[in-house]
């Protein structure tokens, strides 16, 4: 399961915990397993430990117990507006940061973002280089000029292009996939990140004159 498709409801989280408890795993093992798969969407260790204990004592239901009195509603228009403002200001903000800032349970924050704002956190899509509109136009024009120059003489032109002193350079990415994750609304294009290349250059010599 990828981070992009791991948004589970509270009941589904508890069902996973119940399954692992029946498999004989400890709360710590369950928590680490869930974090490795669900990442930001995983329950806190406190919640995992609480529900693991309940299932160990024989509880079968994954539903919340009925609460006396009028329930306190966290999912309000005001809270949705506040969370949306924070997320749009920083697409990389974490659930716990929002929860601490607004004094709202982390699971409720996740519920508002996933179910009411229809957003999810996805990794940036790798692209080779960052090109400005000018760079793109220049590449297009250069390609057109070359095609016009070649015409019907492809073999002759190819014989006059020589590559010398070519250097292979290892590319590296200083930002991990998880670090690049950003909150994105349904239908939006994924964010981009650009591969960093060390400053060695391949030397090309063209004999077109």
27-73 confidence digits (pLDDT tens): 999 999 988 888 878 888 888 999 999 998 888 888 877 665 544 56
Task: Tell whether the model's pLDDT for residue 17 goes beyond 90.
Answer: yes
Q: Which residue has the higher pLDDT, 171 or 17?
A: 17
Q: Which of 10-19, 107-116, 142-151, 173-182 has the lowest mean pLDDT?
A: 173-182
**CATH class given for the domain over 68-122:** mainly alpha
Exposure of 79 by Cβ count < 10 A (0-12 exposed, 13-18 middle, 19+ buried)? middle
- Kindly list the domain boundaries of the chain, sorted by start residue: 1-65, 68-122, 127-206
Q: How confident is the model at residue 122 (pLDDT cuts 50, 70, 90)?
A: confident
Residue 208's pLDDT band, with cuts at 50, 70 and 90, is very low
């Amino acid at each position: 399961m990828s981070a992009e498709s791991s948004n589970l409801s509270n009941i589904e989280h508890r069902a996973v915990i119940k399954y692992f408890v029946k498999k004989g795993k400890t709360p710590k093992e369950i928590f680490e397993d869930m974090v490795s798969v669900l990442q930001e969407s995983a329950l806190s260790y406190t919640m995992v430990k609480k529900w693991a204990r309940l299932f160990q004592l024989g509880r079968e239901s994954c539903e919340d117990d009925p609460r006396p009195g009028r329930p306190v509603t966290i999912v309000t228009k005001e809270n949705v507006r506040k969370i949306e403002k924070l997320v749009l200001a920083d697409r990389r903000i974490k659930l716990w940061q929002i929860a601490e800032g607004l004094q709202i349970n982390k699971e409720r924050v996740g519920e508002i973002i996933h179910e009411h704002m229809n957003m999810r956190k996805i990794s940036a899509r790798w692209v080779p280089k960052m090109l400005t509109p000018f760079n793109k136009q220049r590449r297009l024009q250069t390609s057109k000029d070359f095609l016009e120059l070649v015409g019907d003489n492809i073999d002759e032109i190819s014989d006059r292009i020589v590559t010398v002193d070519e250097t292979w350079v290892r590319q590296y990415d200083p930002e991990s996939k998880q670090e690049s994750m950003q909150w994105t609304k349904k239908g939006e294009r994924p964010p981009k990140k650009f591969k960093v290349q060390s400053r060695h250059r391949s030397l090309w010599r063209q004999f077109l004159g």
